[in-house]
Amino acid sequence: MAEAEKVTRTTTGTVVSNRMDKTITVLIERRVQHPVYGKIIRRSSKVHAHDEDNTCGIGDTVTVAECRPLSKSKTWVLQSIDKKAREV
């Protein structure tokens, strides 16, 4: 039997916190249609992701991938930094 490649779930979001060591908080927003009224509404969720080199800053747009649990709340890992935020 051939080994099947494991498909990992990835998503894109914005870094809202990088205060923890090797951890970032990513805000993931998605647009869904209201089931009754049909209006497009925004839903969001925050996830903690592992950032090994502490390279992310607040406001960066990043891609994170799901992984095995690394701690109680951290089950995502930083895959790439898509866009760096402007320095103020």
3-state secondary structure the chain: CCCCCCCCCEEEEEEEECCCCCEEEEEEEEEEECCCCCCEEEEEEEEEEECCCCCCCCCCEEEEEECCCCCCCEEEEEEEEEECCCCC
* pLDDT tens per residue across span 18-77: 999 999 999 999 999 999 999 999 999 999 999 999 999 999 999 999 999 999 999 999
- Higher model confidence: residue 1 or residue 85? 85
Instruction: Please determine, for residue 6, whether its predicted confidence score (pLDDT) is greater than 70.
Output: yes
Residues of the chain with pLDDT > 90: what percent? 88
pTM (predicted TM-score): 0.87
List, in order of start, the domains of the chain with CATH numbers: 10-82 (2.40.50.140)
